């Protein structure tokens, strides 16, 4: 049962399709299939539509492949009774164009048929110029527009230019005559335009015949470029340390299209240099900066070529990275000549970086240990300074202690007072000394008695002489001794009359008596 139903449905569809095919059967044609005309002449095509179906039908007509503004259709839709035919007309007015042949397509109810339109160009022009031009700012250049008459007749031609490139170009002629197969070059001047910026300018060039339909056009781009341009690259801010050399670099790149020379000048640093660069080449200038004091220092500089100059500024932030403090334990010393004195000052790294310091003095009679110390930031170390002035030197001396590294130093002054040497002499005398002089049977005895205490002599005064007790001699020597006493008394009286000090007198008398005794002994020995 199901099979019969399906077969009936299929048979019904086939009958309906057959009936539709009979009702929609039609034919159409276009004539002529090919036409040749001049620009602006009229080309007419006849379209014939025949309804071969059993019912009246409406047919839609459209055209493709021909510029829409060139053609017109007498009907875009038309009703054709069954068994009859109708005509539709296609009118075309071709415009001057670069194309010589156009292949059109006629569509009737979606079914297509092609036709051809040939454009006869008895009047024909061509125009050309470089599509891309480059010119340097502040330099004048020239190019050419070439116009060619490819038609059969002489043409009076007008040159029409448009676009923003008119700001920078000039043309010497705008109307001229060109014979068939003749070419004409029209000079175009590109201005210096120093006030313009680097950019592209668009130019449209159109040539139109005044005497015919012939025309042609082309486009070009004119680039005004900084042929002698350059770019700078440098650090705008540099952090550095006081008393430390800091190098920085200024980079110059030739971004122009010509070789150029560049001069750099940094007046505050006394630096200048000149280099030559090819297009696209880069050169670095390395400069050294150093400042003793903390702060912010702006260093301006200038880089210039023959046509371009640029200024720059580098800010240096100078910090106290290195510093030292010499702390004395005393700034004044008193030393006895020929002796020494040890002190213990200290060295402190007041910077923010580790550093090595050397310690020296201005006097050769000062010894220092250690001579070098390496300290971390804020670290302190004790050192030993020994003062020993040269023997015999007396007075006040100002000596300098110096602590120094490559980037930092500190100095302090120490006053050294050197005093003269104090001389002390100590003499010890025995309690009793006995001297015996013998001659035959006569004996002389001298008993010299001194105090038990020691006698001290200094440079500050003269001591009292010891007391001398003399025992009178006996025997044959009595006469000699009496003569000595008489001479001593006589001398004593005379000296007292002169007012001489008694102590000095005692010394003189003792010396004379001793001399007499020695002479007496001498004669006794010689006579024996």
Share of the chain above pLDDT 70, in %: 78
Residue with tokens 């001229």: 176
pLDDT tens digits, 45-72: 999 999 999 999 999 999 999 999 999 9
Strands (E) located in 267-394? 271-277, 282-289, 295-304, 309-319, 324-327, 332-336, 341-343, 346-349, 355-361, 366-369, 372-375, 380-382, 384-387
CATH topology of domain 22-119: Immunoglobulin-like (2.60.40)
pTM score: 0.43
Please state the CATH superfamily assignment of the domain spanning residues 125-225 in this structure: Immunoglobulins (2.60.40.10)
| Residue 233: per-residue pLDDT | 93
Would you call 58 helix, strand, or coil by DSSP?
A: strand
Q: Which of 400, 391, 237, 220 is nearest to 312 (CA)?
A: 237
| Residue 491: per-residue pLDDT | 61
Half-sphere exposure of 148 (CA within 13 A, CB side): 8
What's the whole-number mean pLDDT along residues 229-242?
90
452 — pLDDT class (breaks 50, 70, 90)? very low
Would you state the structure tokens that stand for residue 424, as one six-digit string?
A: 């002390």
Among the ranges given (98-102, 420-424, 457-461), the one the predictor scored with the smallest mean pLDDT: 457-461
pLDDT tens digits, 278-307: 988 999 999 999 888 889 999 999 999 877
| Residue 213: per-residue pLDDT | 85
pLDDT tens digits, 311-370: 999 999 998 888 899 999 999 999 988 889 999 999 999 988 899 999 999 999 999 999
Q: Quick count: other Cβ atoms within 10 Å of Cβ 220?
A: 21
How far is residue 270's CA from residue 379's CA, in Å, rounded to a whole number? 38
What's the whole-number mean pLDDT along residues 427-441?
42
Instruction: Write the CB contacts of 507 (distance below 8 Å, at least 6 apart in sequence).
Output: 465
Architecture of the domain whose range is 324-419: Sandwich (2.60)
Among the ranges given (126-130, 278-282, 355-359, 461-465), the one the predictor scored with the smallest mean pLDDT: 461-465
Residue 83 pLDDT > 80, yes or no?
yes
- Partnered with residue 432 across adjacent β-strands are 449
| Residue 482: per-residue pLDDT | 67
Under a CB-based contact definition with an 8 Å cutoff, are residues 89 and 47 in contact? yes
528 — pLDDT class (breaks 50, 70, 90)? low
Residue 430 pLDDT > 50, yes or no?
no
Strands (E) located in 18-56? 26-31, 34-37, 43-51
The correct answer on CATH 3.40.50.720 for the domain covering 230-319 is no
Q: Which of 428, 491, 424, 431 is nearest to 458 (CA)?
A: 424
Ranges of CATH 2.60.40.10 domains, the chain: 22-119, 125-225, 230-319, 324-419
Would you call 253 helix, strand, or coil by DSSP?
A: strand
Half-sphere exposure of 511 (CA within 13 A, CB side): 7
Mean pLDDT of the chain: 81
How far is residue 259's CA from residue 281's CA, in Å, rounded to a whole number? 9
Under a CB-based contact definition with an 8 Å cutoff, are residues 322 and 303 in contact? no
Would you call 109 helix, strand, or coil by DSSP?
A: coil
| Residue 341: per-residue pLDDT | 92
Q: At what angle do helices 478-498 and 502-527 cross, to 10 degrees?
A: 150
The dihedrals phi and psi of 34, each to the nearest 5 degrees, come to -145, 135
Would you call the peptide bond into 370 cis, given omega within 30 degrees of 0 as the criterion?
yes
| Residue 496: per-residue pLDDT | 60
How far is residue 281's CA from residue 206's CA, in Å, rounded to a whole number? 41
């Amino acid at each position: 049962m199901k099979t019969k139903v399906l077969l009936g449905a299929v048979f019904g569809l086939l009958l309906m399709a057959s009936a539709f095919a009979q009702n929609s059967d039609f034919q159409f044609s276009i004539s002529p299939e090919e036409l040749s005309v001049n620009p602006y002449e009229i080309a007419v095509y006849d379209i014939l539509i025949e309804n071969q179906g059993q019912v009246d039908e409406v047919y839609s007509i459209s055209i493709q492949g021909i510029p829409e503004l060139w053609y017109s259709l007498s009907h875009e839709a038309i009703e054709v009774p069954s068994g009859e035919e109708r005509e539709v007309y296609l009118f075309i007015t071709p415009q001057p164009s670069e194309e010589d042949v156009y292949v059109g397509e006629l569509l009737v109810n979606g079914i297509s048929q092609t036709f051809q339109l040939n454009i006869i160009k008895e009047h024909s022009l061509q125009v050309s110029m470089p599509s891309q031009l480059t010119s340097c700012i502040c330099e004048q250049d020239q190019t050419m527009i070439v116009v060619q008459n490819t038609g059969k007749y002489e043409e009076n031609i007008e040159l029409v230019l448009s676009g923003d490139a008119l700001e920078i170009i000039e043309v010497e002629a705008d109307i001229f005559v060109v014979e068939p197969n003749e070419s004409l070059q029209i000079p175009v001047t590109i201005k210096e335009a120093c006030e313009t910026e680097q950019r592209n300018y668009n130019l449209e060039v159109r040539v139109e015949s005044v005497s015919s339909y012939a025309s042609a056009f082309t486009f070009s781009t004119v680039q005004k470029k900084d042929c002698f341009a350059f770019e700078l690259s440098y650090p705008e801010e540099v952090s550095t340390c006081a008393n430390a050399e800091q190098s920085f670099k200024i980079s110059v790149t030739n971004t122009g299209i010509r070789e150029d020379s560049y001069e750099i000048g940094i007046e505050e640093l006394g630096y200048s240099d000149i280099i030559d660069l090819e297009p696209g080449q880069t050169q670095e200038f390395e400069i050294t900066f150093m400042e003793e004091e903390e702060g912010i220092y702006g260093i301006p500089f200038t880089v210039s070529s023959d046509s371009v100059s640029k200024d720059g500024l580098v800010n240096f932030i100078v910090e106290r990275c290195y510093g030292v403090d010499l702390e004395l334990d005393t700034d004044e010393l008193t030393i006895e000549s020929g002796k020494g004195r040890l002190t213990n000052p200290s060295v402190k790294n007041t910077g923010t970086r580790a550093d090595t310091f050397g310690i020296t003095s201005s006097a050769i009679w000062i010894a220092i240990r250690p001579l070098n110390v390496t300290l971390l930031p804020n670290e302190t170390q004790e050192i030993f300074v020994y003062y020993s002035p040269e023997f015999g030197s007396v007075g006040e001396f100002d000596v300098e202690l110096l602590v120094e590294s490559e980037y930092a130093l500190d100095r302090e002054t120490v006053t050294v007072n050197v005093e003269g040497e104090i001389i002390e002499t100590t003499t010890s005398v025995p309690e009793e000394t006995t001297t015996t002089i013998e001659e035959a049977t006569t004996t002389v005895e001298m008993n010299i008695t001194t105090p038990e205490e020691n006698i001290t002599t200094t440079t500050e005064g003269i001591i009292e002489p010891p007391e001398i007790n003399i025992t009178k001699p006996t025997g044959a020597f009595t006469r000699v001794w009496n003569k000595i006493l008489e001479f001593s008394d006589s001398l004593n009286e005379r000296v007292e009359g002169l007012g001489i000090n008694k102590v000095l007198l005692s010394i003189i008398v003792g010396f004379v008596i001793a001399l007499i005794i020695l002479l007496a002994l001498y004669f006794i020995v010689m006579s024996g």
